[in-house]
Amino acid sequence: MKTISRRTVPPELESKLPEHLHPVLRRVLAARQVAAGELDCSLSGMLPVGGLEGAQEAASLLADMRDKQQGIVILGDFDADGATATTLMVSCLRDMGFDRVSYLVPDRFKFGYGLSPEIAELAADLKPAMIVTVDNGVSSVEGVRRAKELGIDVIVTDHHLQGSELPDAAVIVNPNLSGNHFSSKCLSGVGVAFYVMAALGRLLVQRGEITKQVARSVVADTLDLVALGTVADMVRLDYNNRILIAEGLRRICGGQTRPGIKALFAVAGRDQTRANSTDLGFGIAPRLNAAGRLEDMSLGIDCLLADDPAQARQLAERLDALNTERRALQEKMKQEAEAELQQAEEFVGKAAANDAYCLFNEGWHEGIVGLVATGVREKLGRPVIAFARADQPGKLKGSARSIPGIHIRDIIAASLESLPGAASRFGGHAMAAGMTLAEKDLPAFQRAFETEVGRCTEALNAPDTIETDGGLGEDEICLELAETLRTAGPWGQGFSEPVFDNKLRIVDQRLLKGKHLKMKLQHPGAAMMFDAIAFGYPELVPNPSSHSSGVTAHFVYRLDVNDFRGRRSVQLVVEHIHCE
């Protein structure tokens, strides 16, 4: 059962925050260790471009390509981070005077992730002098070797963790390389691409090839992409990332964004002028990701690159249709996973029986298994890898999700080390990773995976805790505070949106569409009522009508602004209900 724990608020930090801030916001920021100097999220506080090791060297190599007008292929990835990074590089290079720039994204169903030898050969058909990877490449040892054999230089820009061997690239730009001193290890792939393009702009200005105004404009115009890709990739929002997202959101809200992002906001039914990180993460990114999950991420990149609003809208509508298809497929696969685990009596309402889970279904779609793994992980609180059959005969594609304290990429590496001869490729982060595995090796890998996870006893035995920012008084649950918190972010991974907990009385409740619980709540003994909704909560709280005073439950909730027919009001978005 989940327990509710209130975050510690360091009084020494809270006392140093400006007094003009709302007291609740001061409490929230202090609990997240925010110092007064980190309240200003303007670009002046961004870590220096020259501080990212390798960025200057990459810029120099790229500038030489411009002088010689040699061809460059940007090799992207098939998620939103990779798509935004690809778009950023292509648009910046073209606007800085590079004439021969193209891009390539591996078909995930044929080639899988990253710069493989097969992709190097495919890129060679475009006759480039250089390949620049974005959001991939740090593990592409064989692919870089093949590119060099074909006479193509490679610049790797990536943020994923390195393996035991690095590729022999001309330069690798990655804040997570061993020995790299860049203080923000949380840059997304698009964040790394942004730093490289900023370094290139400065170098071209120094060489007198473009003006300072052009360099600033070209790079600044990509901040909408940086914000979208950074939020979508769920990297930790340290101060540097919050600056990048905040600047991008300011441009989006002010209308200074590309037609593709405007079109995606329109088809998602989101108000671009009031955009926040939630809109990017739950409205825009899923539509972009749908292309990479079900078809070809080139559709998403072309939408982001489009200069014509009509073309951008047409592409955005195709992405929206794919996202609808993705949701239906995800729900079907989720139900199949639940059915398998319910047969083992270890799913809904029951504790996990195993330390970890490897799931495989013949009919699953490899583009959706990551979402299935996420759903099962959320239900069971255990690391999960969901596998689907790959296009290559005898191969499986897996997507892994973990829990705090268990580094899933390292767990996969350790599991494979115990299986000599297992055919596999893998990569990722602490909380998420992907892999390819020979189907014949699945049973042995499953046993090794469960064994390795089982060694993480501290993380497995940690209480299932929901951290909150304390309770709110009746007068604090108001539109003013909801608006204040909404604009105080950007919120996201590692800098979570504020959630609060109170014991509240249920005055009224009903189900919407059979799957969302709509309620009216109030503090016990108080008169004021608040609208509340619990999404994905398909049942009524037990027997409130049998009590004359109604039922009081412990609620964990966010303050949200409900905009209905032009009327704005505060609404509680409930994330957990504990009936006492």
Q: Which residues of 112-139 are buried (b: 16+ CB within 10 A; e: fewer)?
A: bbbbbbebbebbbeeebbbbbbbbbbbb
pLDDT of res. 543: 66
Q: Which residues of 531-554 are buried (b: 16+ CB within 10 A; e: fewer)?
A: bbbbeebeeebeebeeeeebbbbe
- What does the pLDDT profile of the chain (580 residues) look like in tens digits? 678 999 999 999 999 999 999 999 999 999 999 999 999 999 999 999 999 999 999 999 999 999 998 999 999 988 999 999 999 999 999 999 999 999 999 887 777 778 999 999 999 999 999 999 999 999 899 999 999 999 999 999 999 988 889 999 999 999 999 989 999 999 999 999 999 999 999 999 999 999 999 999 999 999 999 999 999 998 999 999 999 999 999 999 999 999 999 999 999 999 999 999 999 999 999 999 999 888 889 999 999 999 999 999 999 999 999 999 998 988 898 888 888 777 655 444 444 568 999 989 888 988 888 888 998 898 888 999 999 998 778 889 999 999 989 999 999 999 998 887 776 778 777 888 888 899 999 999 999 999 999 999 999 988 888 999 999 999 999 999 999 999 898 999 889 999 999 999 999 999 998 889 999 999 998 889 999 999 988 888 886 544 445 688 999 999 999 887 778 899 999 999 988 6
Residue pair 101/74 in contact (Cβ under 8 Å)? The answer is yes
Does domain 466-579 fall under CATH 2.40.50.460? My reply is yes
Rounded to two decimals, the pTM is 0.88
Q: Which helix (H) or strand (E) holds 123?
A: helix 117-124
Q: Which residues of 142-153 are buried (b: 16+ CB within 10 A; e: fewer)?
A: bbbbbbbeeebb
Q: Which pairs count as long-range contacts for 390-396, CB under 8 Å and 24+ apart, including other chains?
A: 390/109, 390/112, 390/366, 390/436, 391/109, 391/110, 394/438, 394/439, 394/440, 395/436, 395/437, 395/438, 395/439, 396/360, 396/436, 396/437, 396/438, 396/439, 396/442
Q: Which CATH architecture has domain 44-257?
A: Alpha-Beta Complex (3.90)
Q: Which helix (H) or strand (E) holds 542?
A: none
Residue pair 340/360 in contact (Cβ under 8 Å)? The answer is no
pLDDT of res. 348: 42
Q: Where in the chain is the domain with CATH 3.90.1640.30?
A: 44-257
Matching CATH number, 344-461, of 3.65.10.10, 3.40.50.720, 3.30.70.20, 3.10.310.30: 3.10.310.30
In degrees rounded to 5, what are phi and psi of residue 341? Answer: -80, -30
For residue 270, the 8-state DSSP code is -
Q: Where in the chain is the domain with CATH 2.40.50.460?
A: 466-579
